[in-house]
């Protein structure tokens, strides 16, 4: 049984997609053993509570220094003994020691087709705002392993979504979530749970 911890900061729609997929069996042999947020008001924590999943909140604001926060975050995550960590809209920089400890066992969902519209400063609505101002016709989402960079780890899955003429950043964000994020994040977790993802030479090989 794959033990998964999900890190969240906001509404938790990606977390909900994972919960629904585990409960429906679309994600095999997996248990979400904990949800950790930096934001005690994150609705994602409510979603976890409703499904009887343990929650924890560790906020940088509650600690003297970032170093102390980093140690507390890592201690909190370790306590769940996860096999896989999923960043589902987690807006805090992951401590380097945590990235090293969970190399190729920590994944992130990014709301663009990496390498487009990613890296420092590209998160949430800003990603879709940039896509609309560039005038791209195709956007999408990416699931990737987390490495020391920002949105630079080995890509696992991507899914494209068409931009529509009357799109706003909000309508585009919602469609990318509905048509891409909520599909490929659970799919990536299932592939991981079944041991079908290998990383070779900085790229993934998916045995489908
Ligand atoms: C999603 O758009 C995701 O791509 C990004 O942060 C947002 C999280 O939304 N990383 P939610 O909290 O899962 O609803």
pLDDT in tens, the chain (208 residues): 999 999 999 999 999 999 999 999 999 999 999 999 999 999 999 999 999 999 999 999 999 999 999 999 999 999 999 999 999 999 999 999 999 999 999 999 999 999 999 999 999 999 999 999 999 999 999 999 999 999 999 999 999 999 999 999 999 999 999 999 999 999 999 999 999 999 999 999 999 7
| Cα separation, 83 vs 177, whole angstroms | 25
In the 8-state DSSP scheme, what is residue 95? P
For every residue of 42-94, DSSP letters joined together read: -HHHHHHHHTT--EEE--GGGSSSHHHHHHHHHHHHHTT--SEEEESS--SPP
| Residue having the nearest C-alpha atom to atom 6 of ligand 1 | 89
Instruction: Specify the ligand 1 atom closest to the Cα of 111.
Output: 4
User: The dihedral of CA 43, 47, 50, 55: what is its sign?
Assistant: negative
What stretch of H or E contains 35? strand 30-37
* C-beta of residue 185 within 8 angstroms of C-beta of residue 16: no
Give residue 208's pLDDT: 77
Backbone φ and ψ for 117, nearest 5 degrees, come out as 50, 55
- Which region, left, alpha or beta, applies to residue 121 given φ > 0 means left and ψ of -120 to 50 means alpha? left
Ligand 1: residues with CB < 6 A are 8, 10-15, 44, 88-89, 109-111, 124, 177, 181
Give residue 65's pLDDT: 97
| Residue having the nearest C-alpha atom to atom 9 of ligand 1 | 89
Asked if 110 is an active-site residue, the reply is yes
Q: Choosing from 51, 110, 128, 144, which is the catalytic residue?
A: 110
Q: Residue 19 class from Cβ within 10 Å (0-12 exposed, 13-18 middle, 19+ buried)? A: buried
| Cα separation, 178 vs 133, whole angstroms | 22
């Amino acid at each position: 049984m794959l033990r998964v911890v999900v890190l969240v900061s906001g509404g938790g729609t990606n977390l909900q997609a994972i919960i629904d997929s585990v409960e429906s069996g679309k994600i095999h042999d997996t248990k979400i053993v904990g949800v950790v947020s930096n934001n005690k008001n994150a609705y994602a924590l409510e979603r976890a509570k409703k499904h009887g999943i343990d929650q924890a909140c560790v906020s940088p604001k509650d600690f003297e220094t970032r170093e102390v926060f980093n140690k507390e975050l890592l201690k909190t995550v370790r306590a769940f003994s996860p096999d896989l960590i999923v960043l589902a809209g987690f807006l805090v920089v992951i401590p380097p020691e945590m990235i090293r400890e969970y190399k190729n066992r920590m994944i992130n969902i990014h709301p663009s087709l990496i390498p487009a519209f990613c890296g420092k400063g590209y998160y949430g609505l800003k990603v879709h705002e940039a896509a609309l101002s560039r005038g791209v016709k195709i956007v999408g989402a990416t699931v990737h392993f987390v490495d020391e960079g920002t949105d630079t780890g080995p890509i696992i899955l991507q899914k494209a979504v068409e931009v529509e003429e009357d799109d706003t950043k909000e309508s585009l964000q919602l469609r990318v979530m509905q048509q891409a994020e909520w599909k490929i994040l659970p799919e990536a977790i299932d592939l991981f749970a079944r041991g079908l993802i290998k990383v070779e030479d900085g790229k993934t090989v998916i045995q489908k």
